[in-house]
Copies of this chain bind each other. A is one copy, B any other.
Amino acid sequence: MKDTTEKYRCENEASVSRRDLLIGGGVLAAGMLLTKGSGLLGTAKAETLSKTWPWPYVKLDPTETAELAYKEWYRVFCGAAVISSVFSQLAEKVGEPYASFPVDGFYFMAGGVSDWGTLCGSCNGAVTVANLIIGPKIHGHKVSFTMSSNLLDYYSNTKMPAFVPKNPKIDPAKIPQTQSDSPLCHISVNKWMTAAGVPLPSPERKDRCARMAASMAYRVVENLNEWKDGKYDVDDNHWFAPGEVGTNAQQNCTDCHGNNIPEPPMPKA
């Protein structure tokens, strides 16, 4: 495992160095690359910055990130709050391509997309962060695939919300922790609402979801810091559904199927 994660770490460092070289150690203005005298470095170079992976990453403090996500939830809701908590810090510390990233555009992840209750926005936001920083599997960055899977696994199998903010808007005694067994907003929020005995528009449910965003922001930064240190195991995917059950799937088959779990058409042995 060490070899692979080391490879990612080195690429990451190379990426920072290239960037530092381009801007001569100064501060990179948002999306603007200049050479002394002649002006532009050209369209291709500027585009390259946001499309070359990994993006430059410096280790962040998980607690500080979670506090930012908690606060941001009350402005942009779950998915965009997670992205904002990480990218706003990296925009400060690194610059581009974080500074110009359209964070608020990802508001749509809230409520599992327009209140359809599909993928929880805190999960969608966390995997967006991990993938944009590390880079896509199809460019050789397989660790983003593993980390995304494990972020969903963590969300599903942890008593949540795990993070308690320093100055919560709602008394922590009113925010129970529940395990969703699923990364879907519908299942997660309804299990919690049933345990707490409060409806969707209640201040308690809102604060619970703000803490979900904070918990996933904490987790993704914890994971990215391990990756930056070359300690994230690319092969330690906790759930690879096609290998387990022959199709794309969650782990909670009986939640919907009961004991009558259908088998998908399987490849010939």
Binding site for B on A (CB under 8 A): 29-34, 39-40, 42-44, 46-47, 49-51, 53, 75-77, 80, 96-97, 99-108, 111-119, 123-124, 127-128, 130-132, 135-139, 144-146, 148-149, 152, 183-186, 189-190, 193-194, 196-202, 237, 239-242, 246-250, 255-256, 262, 264-267
Cross-chain contact A148 with B108 (CB below 8 angstroms): yes
Q: A105-B131, A106-B131, A193-B247 known; A183 and B256 CB under 8 Å? A: no
A-B contact pairs, 18 of them (CB 8 A): A29-B40, A29-B46, A30-B31, A30-B46, A30-B47, A31-B32, A51-B100, A51-B104, A102-B132, A107-B137, A108-B128, A108-B148, A115-B149, A115-B249, A118-B184, A186-B247, A186-B249, A202-B267
* A73 smallest CB distance to B (angstroms): 12
With A47-B99, A107-B137 known, 8 other A-B pairs at CB within 8 A are: A30-B46, A97-B102, A105-B131, A107-B131, A108-B130, A112-B248, A117-B248, A189-B248
Determine the chain B residues whose CB is within 8 A of the CB of A106 once the complex forms: 128, 131, 136
